[in-house]
Structure 1
Amino acid sequence: MYEKIFYSKLNLGLKPPHKDTCKLCDTLAVKIRATEAEPDSEQKVACLSSLKTDTELHHRRVELARTSMLNDKKAAIEGKCSVLTFDLQKTIMLPKVPTGVVYYKRQLACYNLGIHNCATSKGTMHLWHEGVAGQGPDEIGSCLLKYLSTFPSMERLVLWSDSCGGQNRNIKLVVLLMCLVSDPSCSIKEVTQKFAIPGHSYLPNDSDFGHIEKKMMKQQHIFTLDEVKNIIETCRVKKEAFDVMIMKSSDFYRSNEITHAITNRKQHDGKKVSWLNIRVLRVSREKPFVMEYKYSHNEDIQFEEVSFAKRLKGIQTPLHKLVLKQTQPKPIKDVKKKDIESMLPFVPPVYHTFYHSILAATTQTASTLCATREISNQENEPNESNTINCLQSCAEDPSVPTETEDREEYWDSEQFEENADDDPTWERKN
């Protein structure tokens, strides 16, 4: 009744408050309001002019990125190239039950990477839990490789994503794309990856995830990954249903062998390669080991180049001939295991096997990793007694924020870039 009166008779609309707004837009808006409240002076006029100029430039960059995405979508529909957008959905926690004490427990984290084909408007979801793998660049790249091996692409591929440095904009994902285009058996000869402006990354995946989360909100109980898969497959009624792939440990690969075969150069012709400011990058079969990049979505701006090839005598081994090793299941911490076990009384017994199998597998993986590291320590230091507890080697890196802290700024920070660049074996830890 109220909705009918407001919408039809009073011509009014109800709009929910904005959320996930742009950090730069909010900062500039606060500064402009604060400056306008100051007494009139020449300094105030100059400061206001500078702030409004910065705001206008930022909005122009946002509009340029949107125009570029629309042009890519149009090219995909016309069959000129393949265009995919990908994003990671908000973490899904299992089990989902209304019991109040569960809110304070450490639940099993499930991840869903959505890949949206702009030519067909078809969404494909890649689903796994933290006992299988994490959510770093290797996992993102593995999902892309899985998708491209299942759904063939044209010779030119364009990828759109947000600007998260820890997942989408880093050397590990770039070398995986280099490995892809260097393979003569692959139909893809060129991959262009574009990044949306932070705070304005309105990708088609957001709409796809909205359908999923809307149906999940209506489910009071969700216990297993298969139930999540069923929700995703049936969440859309009027549009084509999503395809869902359950990712296994054998589907995930490590990029360490490839990153060891290259040199991650941070400078080119005396200029620093600023990963945090890259808006477009490109790799191609014609230029192996070369990453082309630029700091704007403007088509008129030329690409700069940086070569990651090692300075060796003779011909360097092509990347596609290097063997990608599979990742091992990720061990779950003991404190989380205890919390998961304590929540089983709220889960029907028929679903206990799902959780017991995960806990048993991760326990075996942790024991194997500890034994391997203990043997390695004994080989490296044969004359010294190794009294280090192996479980401590699986602890979190103290430089990484804890789970209760906001990690987004860390993954986009220079600290992550330096760690990932200086040590190719350095991997994001949860």
Structure 2
Amino acid sequence: MFSLIKVVSKSRTYMTNENSRRQNTRHYYLSDCDGKEVLVCKSFFKNTYAVSDGRINRLLKNKASVSTPPLDRRGHSVSANKTPDNKIQQIKEFINSIPSYESHYSLHKSVNRKYLAPDLNLSILYSLYTEKVSNLTSKFIFSKVFNEEFNLSFHAPITDSCKRCDAFAIKLKACTNEVEKVRLEQDQKLHLLKAEVAREGVKKDVELYKEDEDVCIISFDLMKTLPTPVISTGICYYKRQLWTYCLGIHNMKNDDVFMFTWDESVASRGPQEIASCILYFLKHIVKCKHLIMFSDQCGGQNRNIKMALFCQYIVSSSEYTTIKIDHKFLVSGHSYMSCDQDFGLIEKKKRFFKNIFVLKDWEQVILAARKNKPFKIVSMNKDLFFSCKILEKNITNRKIAIDKGKVEWLKMQWIMYHEMHPFKLYFKYSKAAYPLCAPKGRTLARVPAARNCYHFGTRANVFVGALERGAVRSVVGFLPRINRGARAN
């Protein structure tokens, strides 16, 4: 704009007074489409650039004597109300003194973010700051430093805490005996150390076998039961809902996620159903020689003889390419598996779906939960669930291991199955380096085939009692007509 205004001496004057206030004339120009300067009036120039007379006057105050535009002198002097650097440093030191930690559920976009305790907020932090520091700053400056200088957030309230950690906290708070208190603290540290070692084992395995195509690393877990239907009609809150089940299998090498869905009219949610989903995964989705599985320590679903039989069946059967399975259990309450993050995305997306009538609607929620690499859905039917009953009849479930010790399922942290050792499982009670033990067993001539868990002719309502069926059918009238047939069955 400085170059588009020409300041020249005035060409004529009508005043006889030599001390006229106007000594120069300004010519205003604009560039056309060819880059040529076109003379325009002052009003047109001002409206084009949306500037005032005052701004033009300040810009051209000394143009007659200089050929370059003046430098912007704003911001070179220290502001009178600027917060001193020593006060800013005090705020930083105080915030750094508050314990923070990384969240195992952080999204990929916030991997460097740390979290403060869930019982804190910005107001409480500022109140603590005022108690500790005498030379205070305003809450506005404190908030500004917190938000701009730190990548911190307040963790959401913990709703799924470890029961052992909670028990330790209660016992330590009530303990008055110093000897007993020391013992409890040692047990607590050992428990936390086991949890940390288990999590580190996950990272090491993923890094170690990252480029090995023969190894597949997965984590799996069953999502909390999903009520169906989910509608706003008040009476539905007092009626029996049909539960939908969702098992997530997360491939930790390529971040693929498969969600196996069914409802309680199709099958239950025991170890046979969980294992059947893994059978489908290995037979139709992933082909590997070595499978490493991570799961929680739920005894009813993951750590029991039925799941062990299916794993042994996989490595012994010619139907599958897998010849070795390592099933590793993470400490309950400290598992922080990838599946938990996947389930969180589903629950977050659920808020955007007002009404859910049937299983297919839940599958639409799951599909929309992750935009980058959407979850893949496998709808399970009765023909895809298998029973281990015939397998149980052909093995001896020994209670004594080869080292003469008792086989304690609830303490197992690692179970290994191998094609070269059929009808035996090897286990550890911790992640230590000692060899895996094996219970005494017997060898059979061949591996029997697994049979369907639920025959094709099984009625759909065998898992729902008579009273529950009546409550389920009572909400059919609130569903769209197109969904009533599927619900009534």
TM-score (norm 1): 0.76
- Residue 10 of structure 1, CA deviation: 4.6
Tell me how far apart the structure 1 counterparts of residues 480 and 318 of structure 2 sit (CA, whole Å).
Answer: 51
Q: Secondary structure at the match of 1:128?
A: strand
Cα shift readout 1:321-340 (whole Å, capped 9, x = no counterpart): 43423424451211111111
The alignment-based identity, stated in percent, is 31
Within the alignment, does 1:34 sit opposite 2:174 as a pair? Answer: yes
- Counterpart amino acid of 2:221? D
* Alpha-carbon offset, residue 7 of structure 1: 6.2
Contact 2:266–2:381 (Cα < 8 Å) also in 1: yes
Regions of 4+ moved over 4 Å: 5-10
Q: How does 1:280-319 map to 2 (within 5 A)?
A: 280-298=414-432, 300-309=433-442, 316-319=444-447
What are the residue-to-residue correspondences of 1:214-363 with 2, within 5 Å? 214-237=348-371, 239-269=372-402, 270-298=404-432, 300-309=433-442, 316-319=444-447, 321-328=448-455, 329=458, 331=462, 332-356=464-488, 358=489
Aligned to 1:108: 242
1:210 aligns with 2:361: no
Conserved 8 A contact 1:75-1:81: no
| C-alpha displacement of 1:208 | 0.6
Shift of 1:184: 3.2
The aligned residue for residue 99 of structure 1 is 233
**Which residue does 2:333 correspond to in 1?**
199
Output one character per residue of 1:17-69: Cα deviation in whole Å (capped at 9) or x when no partner. Answer: 1121111111111221222xx4xxxxx32122111111111111111101111
Q: Distance in 1 between matches of 2:485 and 2:143?
A: 50
- Which of 202, 221, 225 aligns to 1:69? It is 202
Pick closer, same or farther for the CA change 1:130–1:48 going to 2, 3 Å: same
Which shows bigger deviation, 156-165 or 331-340?
331-340
Structure 2 contact 345–369 (Cα < 8 Å) conserved: yes
Aligned to 2:283: 149
The whole-number CA distance in structure 1 between the counterparts of 2:153 and 2:250 is 31
Helix, strand or coil: the match of 1:84?
strand
Q: Which moved more, 1:244-253 or 1:211-220?
A: 211-220
Match of 1:83 among 217, 241, 262: 217
Q: 2:157 is matched by which residue type in structure 1?
A: P
Q: Match for residue 164 of structure 2? A: 24
1:60-119 superposed Cα distances (whole Å, 9 cap, x missing partner): 111110111111121342226210110000101101011222112111111000000011
- Contact kept, 8 Å, 1:77 with 1:118, in 2: the verdict is no
- Give the secondary structure class of the aligned counterpart of 1:109: strand
Distance 2:146 2:220 in 1: 41
Looking at structure 2, the residues matched to 260 and 184 of structure 1 have their Cα atoms a distance apart, in angstroms, of 20
TM-score for the superposition, normalised by structure 2: 0.67
Q: Which has the higher contact order (CA 8 A, sep 6+)?
A: 1
Contact 2:353 2:365 in 1 (8 A): no
Cα pair 1:76 1:118 within 8 Å, conserved: no
Alignment-mate amino acid for residue 254 of structure 2:
T
Q: Which has the larger radius of gyration?
A: 2
Cα contact 2:289–2:324 (8 A) shared by 1: yes
Structure 2 gaps of 5+ residues are 1-121, 124-139
SS in 2 for 1:271: coil
Distance 1:7 1:352, change over 3 A: farther
Q: Give the aligned residue type for 2:476.
A: L
Structure 2: distance between partners of 1:242 and 1:7: 39
The equivalent of 1:186 in structure 2 is 320
Alignment of 1:117-132 (within 5 A): 117-132=251-266
SS at match of 1:306: coil
Whichever residue aligns with residue 244 of structure 2, its letter is C
Tell me the equivalent position of 1:47: 180
Q: Report which of the two has the higher share of helix.
A: 1
**Structure 1 runs not aligned, ≥5 long:** 39-43, 311-315, 359-430
Aligned amino acid, residue 303 of structure 2 = R
Aligned partners of 2:319 and 2:232: how far apart in 1? Answer: 51
